[in-house]
Amino acid sequence: MFVGTASDVGKSVITAGFCRIFRQDGYQPAPFKAQNMSLNSYATPEGLEIGRAQAVQAEAAGIACHVDMNPVLLKPTSDQASQVVLNGRPIGTQTAYEYFRANDRHELFAAATQAYDRLAARFSPVVLEGAGSISELNLKRRDITNLRMAQHAGAATYLIADIDKGGVFGSVYGTLALLEPAEKACIKGIIINKFRGDARLFADGRQQLEDLTGVPVVGVLPYFRDIFVEEEDSVVLAYKQRRARLAGRVRVAVVLLGRMSNFTDFDVLNHDARTDVFFTHEATEINEADIIILPGSKNTIADLLALQRSGLAAAIVAAHAAGKTVVGICGGYQMLGRSVEDPDGVEGRVGAAAGLGLLPVRTVLQGEKTTRQRQFSFRDERPASCRGYEIHMGQTLAEGPPHPVATLDDGTPDGYFAGPHCWGTYLHGILDNPVVIDALLAPHTRQIVSAPVDFVAFKNEQYDRLAALIRENVDMQQIYAALQS
């Protein structure tokens, strides 16, 4: 199990790396995270919802994702409330106060341990990931994710600290000092992550940490930018907002929403040599783009109203009138219509909001969530060779004849195509398909300057590179010895 001194220290990426290592070494690993809080989610082959990070880790392990890998998923709907997804299905929305009441947690911990036990009966080793910090004293007795789960699993547990944040000695020492003896007994080693420079310069630091804590430092992982593994947390978007303008490339602006979901929809597009992708919440930057994409949202009406208040909505409409391409995915598709209605209060107290009016559709939000993987044909493409997935709570109807973006494998139409400069779809992952990216970029490029990215092969190469980096910088003999003890 990999736990952290804090959030965003690298637990998800390191867990993915070890899933790939164990697969390379002939084992049958699987990832597990009892509770995930994320707006990035994924639909399993069975049509159930889990955190995207566990789907990525399963991919690194070479297996299909399953709901047992992430039995509890929290999807924030506001600053104080989240939708609770249990065993792949939403069971309601709760405030943080309601969620952390002890009686709720007993049931959730039972569900989490049952999911782990089912997974452990099919795979070995199970690679567990913790959440946030393991030393949050006010939350620990209700914890279902960190050392309580490690004790249930009998997991050899490794504490990860991000040295790039600063204060690594205080964070490691303080974290371990706050553990109870039975909890500290789980900890078999410390991994220092994101070290810049020559790790030999930290030799004294390693020894000092071991002397202070009595726990060995089993690895010092370097800071890297040249290995791509999907990020779990939206905090990384702060670093993706702007980058140097690249001449000759198609400028793609992804609108930063307050409750933006599934920002991984743009990873393939971002790796295409024809594009220059940036994330923005500034109306003045919309005009710099050739293509504007409204992404998914966990609270469509709230994000739509925020766009209107900020002037972004007007800027997007004006950009479309000036010939720019505007595309909406999931919640973004709903926003591009004439209205979004919430008669049952699925998202909140606001019953309806006017959309941007770029597509002749209206959306009614509904309590039942659609979650499924899809094979589909894009526009007139035959046969249905594209893949994506749906995660949404709403039905969108065209006012007039349908003009679908895609035809699903069961013959159902999806989305609305108003032309190459404006369309919307419910399909997450639609931009992972080369035929879609080529069609999106075609109005803005005179020629194809590079072949589409084989993203499956690319990701597998990245998992292998991550595994090699970990092997080079972590004492794998100690890891395997701890697994056997």
Is 330 marked active-site?
A: yes
Choosing from 330, 386, 392, 422, which is the catalytic residue?
Answer: 330
Please report which residue ranges of 294-346 form alpha helices under DSSP H: 300-310, 312-321, 331-336
Token reading at 294: 């409204």
Q: Are 272 and 303 in contact (CB under 8 A)?
A: no
Q: For the chain, what percentages of helix, strand and coil (3-state, to nearest 5) are there? A: 35, 25, 35
Q: Are 146 and 128 in contact (CB under 8 A)?
A: no
Query: What Å distances lie between residue 239 and 37, 279, 429, CA to CA?
Result: 21, 9, 22
DSSP secondary structure letters along 240-304 = TS-----TTSEEEEEE--TTEE-GGGGHHHHT-TTEEEEEE--HHHHTT-SEEEE-EESSHHHHH
Q: Are 303 and 335 in contact (CB under 8 A)?
A: yes
Which residue has 């109005």 as its token pair? 443
In the chain, the largest separation of any two C-alpha atoms, in whole Å, equals 73
- Coil, strand or helix: which one is 392? strand
Which residue has 């998923």 as its token pair? 73
Is 386 marked active-site?
A: no
Q: Is the peptide bond before 125 cis (omega within 30 degrees of 0)?
A: yes
Cα torsion angle, 264, 268, 269, 272, sign: positive
Which residues neighbour 258 within 8 Å (Cβ) at sequence distance 6 or greater? Answer: 299, 302, 303, 306
- Coil, strand or helix: which one is 411? coil
Amino acid occupying residue 311: G
Q: Can you tell me the distance from the alpha carbon of 21 to that of 3, in angstroms, rounded to the nearest whole number? A: 18
Choosing from 66, 392, 428, 444, which is the catalytic residue?
Answer: 428
Cα torsion angle, 42, 223, 471, 267, sign: positive
Which are the catalytic amino acids?
Answer: 330, 428
